[in-house]
Amino acid sequence: MNTAEKIWKREETAQRAAEIKEAGKRVVFTNGCFDILHAGHVTYLQEAAALGDFLVVGVNSDDSVKRLDKSPARPLQNEFSRSTVLAALQCVGAVIVFDEDTPLQLIEAVNPDVLVKGADYKIEDIVGAKEVLAAGGEVKTLEFLPGYSTSSIEKKILEVNRSL
């Protein structure tokens, strides 16, 4: 499957996810901004994908990233770029951009067998956890690769830029 085919339109999400589940595959869902893709992201996505057969990644739209408590310069890359890079990863089955403040509607549409977030979250605080558990799914947290974050990369770039 080529990269463009892995970027799903929002309105086709529920049907496509249901078809994958009907084929007997376990669907895993995670989400994030994925602004500057780094080794921490790749490791996390590979570990998430290993929890099932098909990894769906929800990506915050540009507008939703701006509403998050991140630096005013974010997103550094637009949603098209972030989605395209994620879709190019072998471990990612599909990418879907969402514009809401949380991915709850998207999680409900995907109805994943496994919902995954980073270990900086408590399971009870993960958006969609209650709904996934009520539907018989699982909620997992994964440790981050130490020393990798988009915020630290952004900070380093800004520091280097100031010293020039």
The full 3-state SS of the chain, as one line of letters, equals CCCHHHECCHHHHHHHHHHHHHCCCCEEEEEECCCCCCHHHHHHHHHHHCCCCEEEEEEECHHHHHHCCCCCCCCCCCHHHHHHHHHCCCCCCEEEEECCCCCHHHHHHHCCCEEEEECCCCHHHCCCHHHHHHCCCEEEEECCCCCCCHHHHHHHHHHHHHHC
* 78-92 tens-digit pLDDT: 999 999 999 999 999
| Nearest alpha carbon to residue 20 among 87, 112, 107 | 112
| In the predicted structure, residue 66 carries a pLDDT above the cut 70 | yes
Sign of CA dihedral 16, 17, 18, 24: positive
Which residue reads 């130490």 in tokens? Answer: 146
Rounded to two decimals, the pTM is 0.91
> Across-strand partners of 58?
31, 96
The CATH fold of domain 4-163: Rossmann fold (3.40.50)
Question: How far apart (Å, rounded) are the C-alpha atoms in residues 60 and 35?
Answer: 9
Residue 116 CA neighbour count, 13 Å, CB half: 25
Question: How far apart (Å, rounded) are the C-alpha atoms in residues 117 and 129?
Answer: 10
Q: What is the pLDDT of residue 73?
A: 77
Biggest alpha carbon–alpha carbon distance for the chain: 56
Question: How far apart (Å, rounded) are the C-alpha atoms in residues 50 and 44?
Answer: 10
Question: How far apart (Å, rounded) are the C-alpha atoms in residues 105 and 126?
Answer: 14
* 46-64 tens-digit pLDDT: 999 999 999 999 999 999 9
Q: Give mean pLDDT, residues 81-105.
A: 97
